Amino acid sequence: MGYDAPGGPDVFRPEELAVPELGEGQVLIEVSHAGVNRPDVIQRQGFYPPPPGASPIPGLEVSGKVVATGPGAPPEILNRRVCALVSGGGYAEYCLAHAAHCLTVPEDMDMASAGAIPETLFTVWHNVFERGWAREGETLLVHGGTSGIGTMAIQLAKAFELKVVTTAGSDEKCNAARELGADLAINYKSGDFVEQVNAFTGGKGADVILDMVSGDYVQRNLDCLAVDGRHVTIAVLGGLKAEINMAKLMGKRQTLTGSTLRPRSDEFKALLADEIHTHAWPLFEDQTVAPVMDKVFPLSEVAAAHARMENGDHIGKIVLEVRSQA
């Protein structure tokens, strides 16, 4: 699925392109499903161009069967069911991925679920556990608890024995977050999350905050972030700029950081995938952690899938079915 110019969800149109050519270390995936993510929406709107060399077709994660391997790719991956983090090209029948960015799909996992995992898993693992240095016994605050990122963060944090506080925009979504394991879910439309986080932690504050809002949320986050706490920004849905009190930050020795994953090097993503395979993927293999599925749309209804993402009513992951189960 492509589009001629940025715009609303209805700009998508089907198009026929040549099957992409394999490069060093790459595999060709016959796509079964592709996850829909907020960066796809922002790209379609014209604000998030693909990095150099990436496919202009949206789609940052896929599941499917490896049908060809390029030079340097391990031959044993051929015909394997995988899910993969990709830099673009997921909304298509065939997609290139680096072999080192693929995870083998367990036999008892359906391909729709597999296609919903990589982008959120890689993002949460890197930002919560690598950049945020989250550790057992600490408290994580994650905003947007019922988003794809939020549902993944709650489950992974609980699996590694953290306490989890989250925010959401309705009582229904707060209930869903609690069912996933959140220790406290705050309806930000009816309560002050700063006050409630501080009360929940006995005045200490959260040790790690995963923020996708930015804007005026940053100072509010810092006001409920612990001494030596780590604030990690992964999106700027509430605004590009923030005004913060640096004296307070200095006094509490807080760390303010952030990242974007898509433009990082293939080598970095391979190292990240290797760490995930060792430490996190077993949790998916034994079903301790599983993606929360909102709705699966056929690829032909990609406009409806994007509209659902934009209206914010979803709980968990929105996925496109490109072809029946591989």
CATH assignment at residue 176: 3.40.50.720
Do 94 and 27 belong together in one domain? Answer: yes
Whether residue 129 is found in the same domain as residue 251: yes
In which element (H, E) is residue 127 found?
Answer: none
- Band (pLDDT 50/70/90 cuts) for residue 325 is low
Let me know if residue 3 belongs to a domain.
no
- Domain check: are 301 and 268 in the same one? yes
Which structural domain, as residue segments, surrounds residue 170? 121-258
pLDDT digits (tens, 9 = 90+) for 195-220: 999 999 999 999 999 999 999 999 99
Q: Is the distance from CB of 317 to CB of 148 less than 8 angstroms?
A: yes
Residue 152 corresponds to which amino acid? M
Contact 158, 184 (CB under 8 A): no
What is the average pLDDT score of the chain?
A: 96
In the predicted model, is pLDDT for residue 175 greater than 70? yes
286 and 309 assigned to the same domain = yes
Query: Are residues 132 and 222 both part of a single domain?
Result: yes
Mean pLDDT of 147-172: 97
Written as one letter, the residue type at 127 is N
Same domain, yes or no: 125 and 110: no
Q: How many separate domains does the chain show? A: 2
> Could you tell me if 176 and 305 lie in one domain?
no
250 and 125 within one domain: yes
Q: Which residues pair with 28 in a beta bridge?
A: 68, 96
Check whether 324 has a pLDDT greater than 90: no
Residue 4 lies in a domain: no
- Are 56 and 125 found together in one domain? no
What is the reported pLDDT for 20?
94
Q: Is residue 217 part of a domain?
A: yes
Contact 94, 69 (CB under 8 A): no
Query: Which tokens go with 24?
Result: 């060093």
How many CA atoms does the CB half-sphere of 171 hold within 13 Å?
1
Q: Say whether both 270 and 252 belong to one domain.
A: no
The answer on 211 and 152 residing in a single domain is yes
Q: What angle in degrees, to the nearest 10, is found between the helix axes of 171-180 and 148-159?
A: 30
Count the neighbouring beta carbons within 10 Å of the beta carbon of residue 146. Answer: 29
Distance CA 279, CA 281 (A): 6
Q: Is 326 domain-assigned?
A: no
CA dist., res. 6 & res. 124, Å (int): 28
Statement to judge: residues 253 and 277 lie in one domain: no
